[in-house]
């Protein structure tokens, strides 16, 4: 392994060096002796392993030990400032196709985990997308751009003129034709390397969802009907150990959450917590009981569908690559577009008696149960 500095620049300021790696962020390192700057100079060249770096520095600073140099390399790697100069690049055509993806992952890459590793995880991934409507069509284009290798699409709808407010996957000539077939054709034209399976069907039960999960790494759902569909997805994904991300549109907000089997509370746990809070006699309980009487009208416009589609695609990217931890596991995250995109989150507690959760072994990293902050169980949202 040959540590090399990533693309960054620095300048000495008295006893410190100021490192700039982002136009709006910098790092200040104490360096009264000049040893750090000397190490930076050698690391920029990216031609020496740790032993060679230690020998070269000891020639200039006799009191520097090999252990100190090794610790400094580890610290710089923790700060995500180093790459391995010997890492295997992707083939040239892929390096060009995924140029910006690789540049994005480079920020999170370390000596042990180069940017190419993140991209390879995407290329090897299989994502099941339920619904090719407002959420699905935005998420699908994002997953395709990221280079997710295999996609399974499920939808039973035909393209309708009213979809054009938010479903930019389709063209005028597609009106009246099958969404999954047109979506697959559009995605294949976008990137012929994608492998796409289409399922022209509605979801009628957990078993049907389970039948799609063989070899899947993640499921994304934007399906709103029937009202039981979220519980079916929850049951099937927990049993298969496949995480899922759900996104939807409310009249003035978007909402998303995810379930990480064995690590987070599940949606059945959320409904239990919600039922308990709705059973109360307060105004929230009354509103909760009235909510199902509201008509379901899809009010989703392009910017709203694009917003929730992007948030869901970002959560999917967290699960697929681990570049950051999921932010919506076991919690509703809401973005209010009436209030300057103010974001709130509502974690829900794990139900110790949850039958769905009992189907998966609990992971040691399961977060401690947190109190539900308000009632939010009515499936009145639209994907
Ligand atoms: Zn549960």
pLDDT in tens, 153-181: 999 999 999 999 999 999 999 999 999 99
State the average pLDDT for the chain.
91
Structure tokens at 158: 């035909």
The alpha carbon of 280 and the centre of ligand 1 are apart by a number of angstroms equal to 22
Stated pTM of the model: 0.91
Cα–Cα nearest to 106, from 122, 119, 124 = 119
Bond into 51 cis (ω within 30): no
**Average pLDDT score over residue span 238-244:** 96
Going from the C-alpha of 88 to that of each of 78, 115, 299, the distances in angstroms are 21, 10, 48
Comparing 375 with 22, which gets the higher pLDDT? 22
The alpha carbon of 362 and the centre of ligand 1 are apart by a number of angstroms equal to 11
Is residue 148 within 8 A of residue 127, CB to CB? The reply is yes
The alpha carbon of 87 and the centre of ligand 1 are apart by a number of angstroms equal to 42
Band of the pLDDT at 372, cuts 50, 70, 90? very low
Residues 6+ apart with CB under 8 A from 1: 49, 50, 84, 86, 111
Q: What is the pLDDT of residue 62?
A: 92
Q: What is the pLDDT of residue 280?
A: 66
The alpha carbon of 133 and the centre of ligand 1 are apart by a number of angstroms equal to 28
The alpha carbon of 265 and the centre of ligand 1 are apart by a number of angstroms equal to 5
Strands 195-200 and 9-13: unpaired
User: Which tens digits make up the pLDDT trace of 312-340?
Assistant: 999 999 999 999 999 999 999 999 999 99
The alpha carbon of 376 and the centre of ligand 1 are apart by a number of angstroms equal to 16
**Average pLDDT score over residue span 187-207:** 97
**Average pLDDT score over residue span 193-210:** 97
Q: What is the pLDDT of residue 287?
A: 79
The alpha carbon of 257 and the centre of ligand 1 are apart by a number of angstroms equal to 14
Q: What is the pLDDT of residue 326?
A: 98
Sheet arrangement for strand 25-30: 9-13, 16-22, 25-30
The alpha carbon of 243 and the centre of ligand 1 are apart by a number of angstroms equal to 13
The alpha carbon of 77 and the centre of ligand 1 are apart by a number of angstroms equal to 38
Band of the pLDDT at 374, cuts 50, 70, 90? very low
User: Which tens digits make up the pLDDT trace of 116-159?
Assistant: 999 999 999 999 999 999 999 999 999 999 999 999 999 999 99
Percent of the chain at pLDDT above 90? 82
- Rounded distance, CA 84 to CA 89, Å? 11
Band of the pLDDT at 281, cuts 50, 70, 90? low
Structure tokens at 43: 């690391």
The alpha carbon of 248 and the centre of ligand 1 are apart by a number of angstroms equal to 20
366 pLDDT above the threshold of 50: no
Band of the pLDDT at 379, cuts 50, 70, 90? very low
The alpha carbon of 357 and the centre of ligand 1 are apart by a number of angstroms equal to 4
Structure tokens at 111: 């000596």
Q: What is the pLDDT of residue 363?
A: 60
The alpha carbon of 271 and the centre of ligand 1 are apart by a number of angstroms equal to 9
Is residue 235 within 8 A of residue 205, CB to CB? The reply is no
375 pLDDT above the threshold of 50: no
Q: What is the pLDDT of residue 288?
A: 77
The alpha carbon of 355 and the centre of ligand 1 are apart by a number of angstroms equal to 7
The alpha carbon of 233 and the centre of ligand 1 are apart by a number of angstroms equal to 12
Please identify which residue in the block is written with the tokens 């280079």: 147
Of the ranges 32-36, 275-279, 359-363, the best mean pLDDT one: 32-36
The alpha carbon of 187 and the centre of ligand 1 are apart by a number of angstroms equal to 35
The alpha carbon of 72 and the centre of ligand 1 are apart by a number of angstroms equal to 44
Is residue 137 within 8 A of residue 222, CB to CB? The reply is no
The alpha carbon of 375 and the centre of ligand 1 are apart by a number of angstroms equal to 17
Band of the pLDDT at 276, cuts 50, 70, 90? confident
Is residue 175 within 8 A of residue 160, CB to CB? The reply is yes
- Rounded distance, CA 9 to CA 41, Å? 11
253 pLDDT above the threshold of 80: yes
362 pLDDT above the threshold of 80: no
Residues 6+ apart with CB under 8 A from 327: 315, 318, 333
**Average pLDDT score over residue span 359-383:** 46
Q: Where are the alpha helices (DSSP H) in the chain?
A: 35-45, 50-60, 66-78, 92-97, 99-106, 115-123, 134-146, 179-190, 206-210, 229-240, 267-278, 283-290, 302-321
The alpha carbon of 164 and the centre of ligand 1 are apart by a number of angstroms equal to 37
248 φ, ψ (degrees, to nearest 5): -160, 165
Q: What is the pLDDT of residue 373?
A: 36
The alpha carbon of 350 and the centre of ligand 1 are apart by a number of angstroms equal to 6
Q: What is the pLDDT of residue 369?
A: 35
Band of the pLDDT at 282, cuts 50, 70, 90? confident
- Rounded distance, CA 255 to CA 136, Å? 14
Q: What is the pLDDT of residue 25?
A: 85
**Average pLDDT score over residue span 256-274:** 93
Band of the pLDDT at 296, cuts 50, 70, 90? confident
**Average pLDDT score over residue span 72-84:** 95
The alpha carbon of 56 and the centre of ligand 1 are apart by a number of angstroms equal to 57
Strands 342-347 and 331-336: antiparallel
């Amino acid at each position: 392994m040959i540590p090399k500095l990533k693309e960054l620049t620095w300048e000495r300021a008295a006893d410190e060096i100021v490192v700039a790696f982002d136009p709006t962020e910098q790092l200040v390192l104490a360096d009264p002796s000049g040893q750090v700057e000397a190490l930076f100079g050698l690391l920029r060249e990216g031609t020496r392993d740790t032993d060679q770096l230690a020998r070269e520095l000891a020639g200039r600073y006799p009191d520097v030990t090999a252990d100190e140099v090794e610790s400094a390399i580890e610290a710089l790697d923790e700060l995500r400032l180093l790459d391995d100069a010997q890492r295997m690049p992707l083939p040239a055509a892929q390096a060009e196709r995924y140029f910006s993806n690789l540049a994005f992952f480079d920020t999170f890459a370390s000596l042990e985990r180069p940017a190419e590793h993140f991209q390879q995880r995407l290329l090897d991934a299989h994502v099941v997308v339920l619904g090719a409507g407002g959420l699905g069509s935005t998420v699908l284009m994002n997953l395709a751009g990221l280079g997710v290798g295999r996609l399974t699409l499920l939808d039973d709808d035909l393209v309708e003129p009213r979809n054009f407010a938010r479903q930019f996957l389709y063209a005028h000539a597609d009106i009246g034709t099958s969404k999954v077939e047109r979506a697959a054709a559009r995605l294949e034209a976008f990137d012929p390397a994608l492998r796409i399976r289409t399922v022209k069907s509605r979801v009628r039960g957990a078993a049907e969802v389970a039948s799609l999960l063989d070899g899947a790494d993640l499921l994304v759902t934007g399906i709103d009907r029937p009202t039981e569909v979220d519980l079916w997805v929850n049951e099937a994904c927990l049993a298969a150990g496949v995480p899922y991300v759900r996104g939807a549109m409310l009249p003035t907000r978007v909402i998303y959450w995810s379930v990480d089997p064995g690590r987070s509370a599940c949606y059945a746990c959320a409904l239990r917590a919600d039922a308990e809070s709705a059973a109360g006699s307060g105004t929230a309980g009354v509103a909760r009981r009235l909510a199902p009487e509201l008509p379901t009208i899809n009010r989703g416009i392009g910017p709203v569908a694009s917003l929730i589609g992007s948030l869901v695609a970002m959560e999917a990217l967290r699960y697929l690559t681990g570049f950051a931890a999921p932010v919506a596991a076991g919690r509703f995250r809401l973005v209010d577009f009436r209030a300057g995109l103010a974001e709130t989150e509502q974690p829900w507690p794990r139900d110790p008696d949850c039958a769905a959760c009992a189907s998966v072994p609990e992971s040691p990293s399961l977060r401690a149960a947190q109190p539900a902050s308000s009632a939010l169980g009515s499936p009145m949202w639209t994907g």
